[in-house]
Copies of this chain bind each other. A is one copy, B any other.
Amino acid sequence: MKDKTFLMIPGPTPVPESVMTEIAKHPIGHRSAEFSKILENVYTNLKYVFRTKNDVIVYTSSGTGAMCAALENLINEGDNVLSLVLGNFGNRWVKIAQSRGAIVEKIEVETGSVIDPEVLRKRLAEDTEKKIKIVTLTHSETSTGAANNVKALCEIIREHGALSVVDGVTSVCAMECYPDEWGIDVLVSGSQKGFMIPPGLAFLTANERAWKVYEQCKHPSFYWDWGAYKKSVGENSTPFTPAVNLFVGLDKALEMIKNEGIDNMNARHKRHALALRAAVKAIGLELVVKNDENASHSITSIYPPEGVSVPDIRKVMKNDFDIVVANGQNALKDKIFRMGTLGFVCDRDLISAVGALEATLYKLGHKFELGSGVAEVIKNLG
**Residues 179 to 226 of chain A near chain B (Cβ within 8 Å):** 190, 192, 198-200, 218-223, 225
Q: Are A99 and B221 touching (Cβ within 8 A)? A: yes
Which residues A67-96 have CB closer than 8 A to chain B?
Answer: 68, 72, 77, 95-96
Number of copies: 2
A237 within 8 A of B: no
What's the least CB distance linking A330 to chain B, in Å?
13
Structural contact, A62 and B95, CB atoms closer than 8 A: no
- Whole-angstrom distance between the Cβ of A89 and the nearest chain B Cβ: 11
Contact A12:B24 (CB < 8 A) given known A199-B244, A241-B63:
no
Kindly list chain B residues whose C-beta atoms are within 8 Å of the C-beta of A15. Answer: 26-27
Contact between B29 and A9, CB atoms less than 8 A apart: yes
Please classify the interface of chain A as helix (H, G, I), strand (E, B), loop, or mixed, using the class held by over half of its residues.
loop
A115-158: which residues lie under 8 A (CB-CB) from chain B?
none
A324 at interface (Cβ–Cβ under 8 A)?
Answer: yes
Across the interface, name the chain B residue whose C-beta is closest to A95.
Answer: B222
Q: How far is the CA of A225 from the CA of B92 in the complex (A)?
A: 14
CA distance A99 to B60 in the complex (A): 20
Q: Check B65 against A61 for contact (C-beta < 8 Å).
A: yes
Is residue A100 within 8 Å, beta carbon to beta carbon, of the partner chain?
yes
Q: B246, A200: Cβ atoms under 8 Å? A: yes
The reply on A352 being an interface residue by CB < 8 A is: no
**Interchain CB contact under 8 A, B29 and A60:** no
Which of chain B's residues have a CB closer than 8 A to the CB of A222?
64, 68, 95-96, 99
CB under 8 Å from chain B, chain A span 312-355: 324, 326-327
Is the C-beta of A356 less than 8 angstroms from some C-beta in chain B?
no
A8-50 contacts to B (CB < 8 Å): 9, 11-12, 14-15, 20-21, 23-32
Alpha-carbon separation in the docked complex, A192 to B30 (Å): 11
Q: How far is the CB of A317 from chain B (nearest CB, A)?
A: 12
Whether the Cβ atoms of A29 and B68 lie closer than 8 Å is no
**A60-B60, A99-B219, A246-B243 known; A192-B65 Cβ under 8 A:** no
Q: List 16 A-B contacts (CB under 8 A).
A: A9-B29, A15-B27, A21-B24, A27-B198, A32-B324, A60-B65, A61-B65, A63-B240, A63-B241, A64-B222, A68-B223, A100-B219, A192-B241, A200-B245, A243-B243, A245-B245
